Amino acid sequence: MGHDHNHAHGLTATGRHRGRLIAVLAITLSVMLIQLVGSLLSGSLALLADAGHMLSDAAGVFIALMAMWIAALPASDLRTYGYQRAEVLAALANALILVVVAAVIFTEAIRRLGSAPEVHTDIMLYAAILGAAANLVSLLILRRAQQESLNVRGAYLEVLGDLLGSFAVIAAALVIKFTGYLAADTIASVIIALMILPRAWHLLREVVDVLLEATPKGVEVSMIREHILSVAGVVAVHDIHIWTITSGVPVFSAHVVVEDGMLGARGADQVLDKLTTCLGSHFDTEHCTFQLEPASHYEHESPQHA
C-alpha cells in the first residue's frame, strides 16, 4: 500500500525569489558594462577580469531565471516530476562558465607577466569602487534567498567572489597609483582567477550530489528510521530512499512493515497520517511515499536498501 502525502508541485525555491534574481541581473549587467568600458579606457586587465566575471554572473542568473520558468512547466506522463531538474542543470552550466572564465583570465594574466602595459589608475579605481558597491547591494538582496535554492546560492557565491575581485582591483589601482608598480594589475587578475575556481568546484559538487540523488545535507537516515519505528504498530522499515529533485524539493520513500492487524482501513490511515506528519514536521519533507507491508509478509521481501 502506498501513500503520497502531497502531490502538489508549487513554486521551486528559485521561483520564490524571482524578483531578487531579476534585480541582481539588472545591477550586474549595468556595472559589467561600466567596468568593460573602464577597462578599455584604463588598460587594466584586472578590471577586464572583473568585468568578465560579472558577465559570467549575469549569464548564470539569466540561466537560473530561464530554468525557473522551464521548471514551472506542468508534469506529464513522460516527465512525472515535470522539468524541475532544469534548475539543477542550470546550476551545472553556471559552474562550468565559472571554470572557463577563470581559465581565460589566468591565461591572459600569464601572457602579460613579461610586459605590463601602462594603466590609468583613476578610471580603474572609480570603476572598481562602483563594482564593489553594486556587488554589496546584490549580496544583501540574495542573502536570505541563497539558503533555500541551489541556483540562488550559485548567484550569491558568484557575487561574493565579484566583491572580493573588486577589492583586489581597488588594491591594485592604489598600489599602481602610489608606487608605479604596474605588475600589480596582472597579479590582481591572477588572484581573481584563483578566487573563482574554489567557488565553481563547490557549486559543481552540490550539483553532482543532486544528480546522483545523494541524501540531502543535514538529513540523517538513522534518525529518520528511529522516528518511523517509534510510530505505534510499525515493526520494521527498509528500502529507505531520500533524494532531491531540485532545490527545496526533497523526496522520501520507504517500505514500512506493520502489525498484521493494522492493515485495516482505519489502522492503515492512522499509521500513514502519523508517518507523514513525522516526516513533515521533523525533517521538512512533504513529498513522501510509504509502502505498508504486513509483518507476516516481511520475510518474503528482498530489501534493495537498508
Show the cell assigned to 209. 550530489
Average pLDDT, the chain: 80
- In this predicted structure, the answer to whether residue 70 has a pLDDT above a threshold of 70 is yes
**Averaged pLDDT for residues 267-296:** 79
pLDDT digit string (tens) for 198-216? 778 887 888 888 888 888 8
pLDDT of residue 227: 85
Share of the chain above pLDDT 90, in %: 5
Tell me which of 71 and 250 has the higher pLDDT.
250
Show the cell assigned to 79. 516527465
- In this predicted structure, the answer to whether residue 249 has a pLDDT above a threshold of 70 is yes
Tell me which of 304 and 87 has the higher pLDDT.
87
In angstroms, the CA 244 to CA 235 distance is 27
In order of their start, the domains of the chain are 5-211 (1.20.1510.10), 215-300 (3.30.70.1350)
* Three-state SS annotation for 245-260: EECCEEEEEEEEEECH
Tell me which of 28 and 64 has the higher pLDDT.
28
Q: Which of 4-8, 32-36, 98-102 has the lowest mean pLDDT?
A: 4-8
